[in-house]
Chain A
Amino acid sequence: MTAFLAKRLGFGFLTLVVASVVVFAVMEILPGDPARVMLGMNATPEALETLRNQMGLNEPVLLRYLNWAGGLLTGDFGRSYTYSSPVVDLIGERVIVSLPLAIISLVLSTAIAIPVGIYAAARRGRAGDTVSMGAAQLGVAVPNFWFALLLIYVFAVWLRLVPAGGFPGWSGGIWPGLKSLILPAIALALPQAAILARVTRSAMLEVLGEDYIRTARAKGMPRRYVLWRHALRNAMIPVLTILGLQFAFLLAGTIIIENVFYLPGLGRLVFQAITQRDLIVVEGVVMLLVASVVVVNILVDICYALVDPRLRVRG
């Protein structure tokens, strides 16, 4: 297990290094001069030149990469061109919104999807299966912002249970913050749950056709017991894979939902940064996402090994 972890971590770090090179290179190629962005269209060439020198933009590319990458390692993501505040602070303000949002949606979608998938698989071809998979089909097809609008209308405008948008921050206690995250979390979770339910169902159906399920039934185990005790764990591998992918998406792919609910999340930060050519912020956010994907993948790999003993021995 230690060797397995060491190998995974080493591989993850390598991924980060490669990603940093790619991210940096792409940003170099993209048009947009940070100095001009900061000084505006009317800046004199002298002023631009001075600022470039000051920001180190005239240094050789390799040196600038090393400076930037070295900064990343020490937690210094540089300074935003537009806000002039440290990128780390900007990201930090947004992560405390996006991370809880992603976690809540993930928990919600898992809590809905896995029981529904198992239920549908157990009742294959019957009414319960048709209805739940029909609902899942709808969940995949309908865009999440439409769900979001519906939720706002019902729970915020009509029932007045939760705010329609905005984020009060965590300083006023956990509850007000949670209250403003609950609708966006549901809106994000539903389509994810729909996909996950379908994956769970098909994984369960495949496992239920395996020989060892017949062996368990031949032992006299009732159908329900076999479903939960023999089939479920074997069906978890594809489910875990999808869960890992979904978490990465939830962390930053939520810009539409953030806009619908006026949430100051990572998605909006990166969107604004792109429109303002605030490349250093974009770079920082992208690297954070790459890191989170790497971490999630390592967690998923560990879960694989916990679920399936056959995956434990390989170093």
Chain B
Amino acid sequence: MSLLEIEKLSLDIAGVPILNGVDLAIGEGEVMGLVGESGSGKSMTALAVMRLLPNAARATGRVAFDGIDVLAAPEAAMNRLRGDDIGMVFQEPMTALNPVKTIGEQVAEGIRWHTGASRADAEARARAMLDRVGLPESKFPLSRYPHELSGGQRQRVVIAIACALNPKLLIADEPTTALDVVLQAQILDLLRDLVSERGMGLLLISHDLAVVTDMADRITIMRHGEVMEAGETAPTLSRQEHPYTRQLARASMHVPDRKKHGPAAGGSSLEDLPPLLSVENVTRDYPGRRVSLFSKPEPFRAVDGVSFTLQAGQSTALVGRSGCGKSTLARMILALDRPTAGAIRLNGQEVSAMDEAALRPARRDMQVVFQDPYGSFNPRHEVERLVAEPLHLLEEKPSPARRREMVATALHEVGLSASDMDKYPHEFSGGQRQRLSIARAIITRPRLVVADEPVSALDVSIRAQVLDLFADLNQRLGIAYLFITHDLTVARAITDEVMVMHEGRIVERGRTGEVLDNPQSDPARALVAAAPDLHRALKRRMGEQGVA
């Protein structure tokens, strides 16, 4: 008998069907990967196992954990199960911990509750657990509060809470999605070690096939609340018998078709042209925290003496871990922030020294696409108004008819139709909204688009389409890109050149393929080593699971 058996689990929330006949089983000590795009019902399946579903949810079918009928068990029995036999790790480490309680309290609480241990004993066990997840006492005493910890450190605390009582099953719902690749690799290593050292079963939920392939013995693929395919990881993914599995795998490895562009294609002649963007020795300091009333606070240097140039039509990736200064640098390039020292020139003009009025032509030439396609639109405005927003940068205000025409062209260019103009943002899916942000960015015919993690909030199949769109616009309109990303797959897919940023400095720069295949600096090597790679993971799995 398996540790967890889910049979024909169906679920609806206030009448809306969410899950439809889901079957899933996990044996003791087994790692099961649950993969699917957003809205496929992965998280709801996990919450059904914990019976922490929303109030309006109605579940039918059977969920049996270690002989207990989860859907029918009394609440008190579920309380005994949760946190003791089943632990759970969530996606968002920044909000998963109670901000007004110390990490010690939060780890010890469950131990005391389930074992009846004294405060001192529970704290000793919490201490040992925090040590185990890599938060040693010298730097992370029990009296620390969550806000004093970084995202990766908080996720370690959440893992400590989940594993404190050696549960038989650990459920990890997108445990690394909010973290950068290096942290992701560390957290996945930690989970892998804990699972094998304590013989726990693991239900790993992820949208990332590479991560799941790397971790899971078996894999279950979900779509629209139904299980599409399930089986051993390597055979399932290499044979790709189910069309959806094939679609998912292809989209994960998708590389847009693009002709070689930039300096290499045009020979050395392009390099003689004046650069589109030149960043000269730019530094940005932020005031640090005051240590005492009388000493001057030590400034924090977010960007440290960065210099580079971009040619017209060139696509460049700026990669680095979170907090390395890449977003600060982008803000300065967009003239949303000013450098403490150094100069930034667009078309030879120093944007870092201009006032807002003088910046208007420069702002026409550079636009931005943000990460979150949900948060970057005012929900009460129609698409026409949203996409036309940058038009106020034009010297002459276009007539209403001309304006509609320009919006229609921009929508057409990103693969939407002119009839979408009178809709509101909520009528579009995530991928379509990201197309809207791209339409908004290109309506002034900019020469440079800065894209800050433009596809990391999107599902893989949508991501593939949006990457194609970026490649196509680069080709057709000759727009240069600065892609800010921590995802090396994206960098590889869409850029000619890559710059690796680390602690405020650019530590490596070169042709994308060369840098990613043969990184020279330590930070670049760490990024490349940590990046999940489906090809590599699959090859390793196939060796283990004996598939030709």
Q: Which residues of A contact B (CB under 8 A)?
A: 3, 210-212, 214-223, 230, 233-234, 307-310, 313, 315
Chain B interface size, as a band, is: 20 to 34
B180 at the interface (CB under 8 A from A): no
B79 x A215 contact (CB < 8 A): no
A211 x B99 contact (CB < 8 A): no
Q: In the complex where A219-B113, A220-B113 touch, is A211 in contact with B90 (Cβ < 8 A)?
A: yes
Partner of A211, one of B75, B95, B100: B95
Partner of A3, one of B84, B100, B293: B293
Residues of A close to B80: CB separation below 8 A: 220
B425 at the interface (CB under 8 A from A): no
Q: In the complex where A212-B97, A310-B145 touch, is A218 in contact with B88 (Cβ < 8 A)?
A: yes
A221 nearest in chain B by CB position: B113
A-B contacts, 17 of them at CB < 8 A, read: A3-B293, A210-B95, A215-B97, A216-B109, A218-B50, A218-B52, A218-B82, A218-B87, A219-B82, A219-B109, A219-B161, A220-B84, A221-B83, A230-B98, A234-B98, A310-B145, A313-B289
Q: Once the chains are docked, how many angstroms separate the CA of A247 from the CA of B110?
A: 39
B101 at the interface (CB under 8 A from A): yes
Residues of B close to A211: CB separation below 8 A: 90, 92, 95-96
B100 x A233 contact (CB < 8 A): yes
B90 x A215 contact (CB < 8 A): yes
Q: Once the chains are docked, how many angstroms separate the CA of A214 from the CA of B162?
A: 12
B91 nearest in chain A by CB position: A211
Q: Once the chains are docked, how many angstroms separate the CA of A308 from the CA of B158?
A: 20
Residues of B close to A220: CB separation below 8 A: 79-84, 110, 113-114
Q: In the complex where A211-B90, A221-B110, A307-B100 touch, is A315 in contact with B290 (Cβ < 8 A)?
A: yes
A310 x B147 contact (CB < 8 A): yes
Encode contact with A along B160-178: 1 for CB under 8 Å, 0 otherwise. Answer: 0110000000000000000
The DSSP consensus for interface residues of chain A is helix
Kindly provide the distance from the CB of A313 to the nearest chain B CB, expressed in whole angstroms. 8
Kindly provide the distance from the CB of B86 to the nearest chain A CB, expressed in whole angstroms. 8
Residues of B close to A310: CB separation below 8 A: 99, 145, 147
Q: Which residues of B contact A (CB under 8 A)?
A: 50, 52, 75-76, 79-84, 87-88, 90, 92, 95-101, 106, 109-110, 113-114, 145, 147, 158, 161-162, 289-290, 293
Residues of B close to A219: CB separation below 8 A: 82-83, 109-110, 113, 161
Q: Once the chains are docked, how many angstroms separate the CA of A205 from the CA of B165?
A: 30
Residues of B close to A212: CB separation below 8 A: 95-99
Kindly provide the distance from the CB of B187 to the nearest chain A CB, expressed in whole angstroms. 16
Q: Once the chains are docked, how many angstroms separate the CA of A219 from the CA of B161?
A: 7
B79 x A221 contact (CB < 8 A): yes
A233 nearest in chain B by CB position: B100
B101 x A214 contact (CB < 8 A): no
Residues of A close to B79: CB separation below 8 A: 220-222
Residues of A close to B162: CB separation below 8 A: 218
B90 x A309 contact (CB < 8 A): no
Q: Once the chains are docked, how many angstroms separate the CA of A188 from the CA of B110?
A: 43
A207 nearest in chain B by CB position: B98
Q: Once the chains are docked, how many angstroms separate the CA of A308 from the CA of B76?
A: 31
A215 x B52 contact (CB < 8 A): no
Residues of B close to A214: CB separation below 8 A: 52, 90, 96
Q: In the complex where A211-B95, A234-B100, A315-B290 touch, is A217 in contact with B145 (Cβ < 8 A)?
A: no
Kindly provide the distance from the CB of B450 to the nearest chain A CB, expressed in whole angstroms. 31
Q: Once the chains are docked, how many angstroms separate the CA of A221 from the CA of B84?
A: 11
Q: Once the chains are docked, how many angstroms separate the CA of A234 from the CA of B99?
A: 8
A216 nearest in chain B by CB position: B98
Residues of A close to B158: CB separation below 8 A: 215
Q: Once the chains are docked, how many angstroms separate the CA of A217 from the CA of B87?
A: 11
B111 nearest in chain A by CB position: A219
Residues of A close to B75: CB separation below 8 A: 222-223
Residues of B close to A308: CB separation below 8 A: 99-100
B107 nearest in chain A by CB position: A219
B83 x A218 contact (CB < 8 A): yes
Further pairs besides A218-B162, A219-B82, A220-B79: 8, Cβ < 8 Å: A215-B161, A216-B98, A218-B52, A219-B83, A219-B109, A221-B109, A308-B99, A310-B99
